[in-house]
Amino acid sequence: MQTVNIRQLKTNPSTALRSAKDDDMVVVMNRDHPEALLVDLEKLAFPDLGAVRVALAVSLFRSGAVSAGFAARMTDKTLPDMLTLFSSLGIPLTSGNESDARDDLNVGKQWLAQKG
């Protein structure tokens, strides 16, 4: 187990992530107090890591932290499959913000143009 302080995490997050992958976990310290743990998902030995990734993507999309396209990439699903999943779960596909909806529509059009 390794420790990293917040400044180190901000400066070089890839080092902390690599340490989490190589070791069991990394403890993130804030003024000499443990604040968080970085754990590589594969080290947790979930029986279905793909389902965990989908659950995380759904939760992050629902909270507005990631776009539908980003959620799809996180799960190795196609954008239409991800949108279908969101819809089946009753998750609104737009935030109600016209600008965001326009951006989502443009991403969808670009995706369709690449497939055609």
Measured at the CA of 94, the angle between CA 92 and CA 100, to 5 degrees, comes to 165
Structural domain count, the chain: 2
Range of the domain at 80: 46-95
**6 falls within a domain:** yes
Same structural domain, 39 and 52? no
Distance between CA 1 and CA 116 in Å, rounded? 49
Q: Which residues of the chain have pLDDT under 70?
A: 95-97, 116
pLDDT score of 111: 85
Distance between CA 36 and CA 59 in Å, rounded? 20
Same structural domain, 32 and 56? no
**108 falls within a domain:** no
**23 falls within a domain:** yes
Q: What digits encode the pLDDT tens for the residues 71-100?
A: 999 999 999 999 999 999 999 887 666 777
Calculate helix-pair angle for 68-75, 79-88, nearest 10 degrees.
110
Same structural domain, 51 and 37? no
pLDDT score of 116: 62
